[in-house]
Structure 1
């Protein structure tokens, strides 16, 4: 029987960790990586996790790699603190872990704003309709660059798991979504400054058009009514905000991504 490790990487997530950890009980192992947390996350993590790793990492890739290396299961399921694994999804995860001949699989993400499920229109740092979060041990390695590095893979991708999805509460309301857009563009500005590439305004404007078009049309945001319009606006504004923050306030954003 294949063992499944559930991995959470978090920083000051005491409010959301209990529900997330509770949803991971069917896993064979729970590993939590805490990056410079100063709230009650450590005590909460130890109530359910088999391993808790504390440290300070310069990039997202480095802290995620530390978590992957700490996992001992045959498969690793990466879960964000704002995500929950519904009970109905675990049998499908188990089925794939036992029968798959592939190295990694995407899972459907059911994104919610408050109690409202919004399936379409998610792009970039604000969210995704599917994510590659289930992988064999050793199949995934995060790059350590600052500009949205993403992972490298060993082996082929298998069919996505879509019969049920990870439950994610992205934000509680529209204001929360806009505040998160502000935080995410802060981090993007920091990433740009860290690699010395703040970019140009024409490039940012071109990215804005691609982001809005991709969100509303390619990702099907038009099917979500006003919510789809909101997501398309956020996707379009994000590249311009990130660029202008890096250009206009470099001292403020230089170290925010650390």
Structure 2
């Protein structure tokens, strides 16, 4: 079975080298660069990657373009801030030789700086499992800017949880809050495009339910103050998105 790695990035010259260096277990690397102006293209080509450069308004569209450019029977989608340990690479190679399923979820180990945070992720602000290993033709991203939905052809197989991808999700608290600002602005644009931004009351309820779920249901309390921070960000994401679309539509409509 031929395996492709797909990396979608924008101006990631600082993190791409370390990411690409962990992908030696694949047969092909495809890097999609969205409006990049730094040395990402040169770095990718030096690593032997196929580079697709362009401009896409929607995350779903650029990821679908990358999938189409892959020639492998199987594809693993990796972000520039992720690192695949050798043990997981070997496990993936072994799995695709025998799997009869369409896709598999892979464990994600999320780091803020050098701190591994195991609990509390959720609410569109982080995850510990992602469906990133799939047969070509099985996965299609929807036309949205942030966390686009997925359409699948085929069934899900066993989850890979023995080894996890190292995800350097945020550098520090300020970086986390900047990510919340970016995500909520992109989501506000999606809401405006849909013609339905929801109600303030419903999004206040979502703030409470998501915060509670991340802190209690997903055991964020085990992480102390970090768990509280992540739970608040997860709860604020839909509320901020709604408020930006409602109060500043001219700034977020595309």
TM-score by length of 2: 0.95
Matched, 1:15 2:11: no
Cα deviation, residue 104, structure 1 = 0.4
Give secondary structure in 2 for the equivalent of 1:179: helix
Provide the residue aligned with 1:73 in structure 2: 72
Provide the residue aligned with 1:102 in structure 2: 101
Provide the residue aligned with 1:85 in structure 2: 84
Distance, in Å, in 1 between the alignment partners of 2:36 and 2:248 is: 27
Cα deviation, residue 146, structure 1 = 5.1
Provide the residue aligned with 1:159 in structure 2: 158
Superposed CA deviations along residues 215-252 of structure 1, whole A, max 9, x for unmatched, are 11222212222211111111122221111111111122
Provide the residue aligned with 1:234 in structure 2: 233
Distance, in Å, in 1 between the alignment partners of 2:146 and 2:111 is: 27
Provide the residue aligned with 1:136 in structure 2: 135
Provide the residue aligned with 1:252 in structure 2: 251
Contact kept in structure 2, 1:31 and 1:49, CA below 8 Å = no
Equivalent pairs, count:
254
Provide the residue aligned with 2:41 in structure 1: 42
Gaps of 5+ in 2: none
Give secondary structure in 1 for the equivalent of 2:105: strand
Distance, in Å, in 2 between the alignment partners of 1:175 and 1:35 is: 25
Provide the residue aligned with 1:206 in structure 2: 205
Provide the residue aligned with 1:123 in structure 2: 122
Contact kept in structure 1, 2:184 and 2:241, CA below 8 Å = yes
Give secondary structure in 1 for the equivalent of 2:79: coil
Provide the residue aligned with 1:193 in structure 2: 192
Cα deviation, residue 99, structure 1 = 1.5
TM-score by length of 1: 0.94
CA-based RMSD: 1.4
Superposed CA deviations along residues 44-90 of structure 1, whole A, max 9, x for unmatched, are 11111431111122311111111111111111000011101111211
Contact kept in structure 2, 1:84 and 1:166, CA below 8 Å = yes
Give secondary structure in 2 for the equivalent of 1:239: helix
Superposed CA deviations along residues 78-130 of structure 1, whole A, max 9, x for unmatched, are 00111011112111111111121211000000000001100111113321110
Gaps of 5+ in 1: none
Moved over 6 A (4+): none
Cα deviation, residue 206, structure 1 = 1.4
Superposed CA deviations along residues 157-195 of structure 1, whole A, max 9, x for unmatched, are 011100100000111111211111111111111211222
Give secondary structure in 1 for the equivalent of 2:124: helix
